[in-house]
A and B are shown apart, each in its own frame.
Chain A
Amino acid sequence: MEYNETQERLRETLLGEAKDSVRGLEGRDDIRAAILTGSAAWGKPNPDGDIDILLITRGGDGVCYRYLIPRFSPVRRRTEHGFIPRLIVEDNIEKAFGTRISCSMIEQLRNGRVLFQKEAEGDELVDRARGAVPGRFVIGAFIKDCKDALDELSVALGGNRRHEVVLAARRITRIAARALLLARDRTAVSKEKHEYRAVRRCFDARERGEYEALMGTADIEGEEARRVLDRSIEILRWVVEGKSVSTGLVRYD
């Protein structure tokens, strides 16, 4: 991926802030490595994004996330420190994409950037995540998902429910795309927003075109996208209000 000068500067800034946030932790014996993850470490850095750091521990009380908030802590942007025991990290790498957490952890580590480490433990875990290969059961799960979605499609076709047919077709497309991503690039998609990024990286132009056509986004232009987002916000606001939650949660300019 190529970056322009502004993005490079932002990346350096984020890296500096990330290092500052863990400086006081480096002397602790139980912390074996600090690994910067997320868009601050790879991809396109986001000026409004958080900084996410995995801290690999030995011993201690299990998993703990610490949220550093600028107003109260000496950080310039929201910073999350995830303290994860090494045994849990290893276990999730060994699960080889078999669970959502395993997918997420492998994805974070393989694109991680080591901030500090003891006895190369950070590099070792990043390498192991990069070498993780999907297990047979992952392929089995894909085949089952695919078969279930095809059955849904058949039922919708039989019932002449054209809108359900389109939604079932999109589900099949998504399942197939994720299988291709896993097989080609060992990219596990743990979040929706990661799917299109991986599609962009791993599919050729024809495949991308087919994916977009099937997902119904191939012809989307600016004005239509804005209209869809407006409608989405209205629906989410309605759902949230129905739950007696403050509407402030779904407010966008």
Chain B
Amino acid sequence: MADNNTFDAIVVGSGISGGWAAKELTERGLNVVMLERGYDIKHGKDYEASNKPVWEYPHRGGRTQEMIADYPRLKRDYPLNERNLHYWASDKDNPYAETKRFDWFRGYHVGGRSLMWGRQSYRWCEEDFLANAKDGIAIDWPIRYKDLEEWYTYVEKFAGIQGSYEKLPQLPDSHFLPAMELNVVEKDVAAKIKAHYNNKRTLIIGRTAHITGPLGHSPQRTNCQYRDMCWNGCPFGAYFSTQSSTLPAAMATGKLTLGINSIVKEIIYDKETKKAKGVRVIDAETMQTKEYFSKIVFLCASALNSAWVLMNSATDIWPDGLGSSSGELGHNVMDHHFRVGASGEVEGYDDKYYFGHRPTGFYIPRFRNFGGDKRDYLRGFGYQGGASRNGWGREVAELSIGAELKDALSEPGGWRIGSTAFGETLPYHDNKITLDKTMKDKWGLPVLNFDVEFKENEKKMRVDMKADMKEMLEIAGVKNVREYDNDNAPGMGIHEMGVARMGRDPKTSVLNANNQVWDCKNVFVTDGACMTSASCVNPSLTYMALTARAAAFAVDELKKMNV
């Protein structure tokens, strides 16, 4: 039995990766404390807005001038809104410095961004793990697809991923629950694309972490009800979050302690043993410092914050922090670049509609620089989009005002289809975060300074990201197709990766093939920080698999007295 500050393992962070670490480590017999810097959100009970209709919001879900003033970073994109504002971290309490613009949208509460994530869930493919070595970019991954394959299956069976079996080399199938349905227009466009490109391009249902069938191990979760209210927290537990899925499992072991308001400011490093002894925490409410001790530490604080903790640790030995001996800690910041694509109008189907508010759309897996295709840039992109009938917000040019307009807008308009690409970003050493020399947060702690930009490879890719969608829509008979490129700042994808990368050599990487810090083997980093390249698919499922794999390894090593 653990006393109040000594445990077998400490997990820093309670988001997707932290929740998985807590579940796996407790189920494998360890006494664990999971430290979360923010407040608690209890499943169901604390999802205040999960059944709240739009008319109960004074601004109907939008943003006020006061909110804009209070959130100078969050205002840059859609997260600043009235519906789930309390799920987004305060910019005032948690400022950061920008040598170059970086949009950092954070969730500081139990569950982290697992409550607000897009839920898109895709496996990486063999090619993704080989890409750096093939292209001579950065460093090689120390693992291959086959190292992760069983762990993908393992986490998918527990988390619940809906999708369709497609047997695509660039997008391996998961262990799926029944797939959500493409609508009638999407199915037609899919068939036309498939025929024209001779199966080289496919439009499939977006794979997501939603329950569409029973999960025997999680009876507390219910099938998706098609309300599309996900990001307020789902009272049905229909989508995977820490609260709906991993936290109940970890709690059921009786071996998990949850510490809220616990800002881990550093790892306590023991020079003699060359191991971490625990972590030093500031209580976010009382400002008191507290120490926790453990045999192993799992850093799952979100990519950039995990690097931040390392940067603040063992600075008497390594001035740039624990794990900095390679010179790569804080470098190679990656995100996906997107907000570019095309959309257009679909003629006909006036006698067709859809029922229910589906929380996913379609996905078009990567086809560029794959399977013999060769472009003037490296890597590729996939598309997320959807077809729908226009709603009441549409322009009705032929009607002015009056009953006719009201009646027209009370009925659905014509069909549209559109999408945005999500492109792979390369790991560049000079895309980096550092501790800012002057700025401090609400607790007097140093903050990050961002120096990150997209470069030529991404810019070249965007030309195809736009043009390919236009071409596919036109081939499918879509009318008035318009391309767009809304540009984007790094960070907007909310897929931060790469700042403590895995590798084969301690001279060029921060972590080894089992997510252990080379310089401190009982510290594991399993969130986005560990990624050696970015792929073009959404990363969360891979964090789940890497975390479960590292946790199993860590417990084995503990048993063997190796850590």
Q: Do A and B come from one complex?
A: no
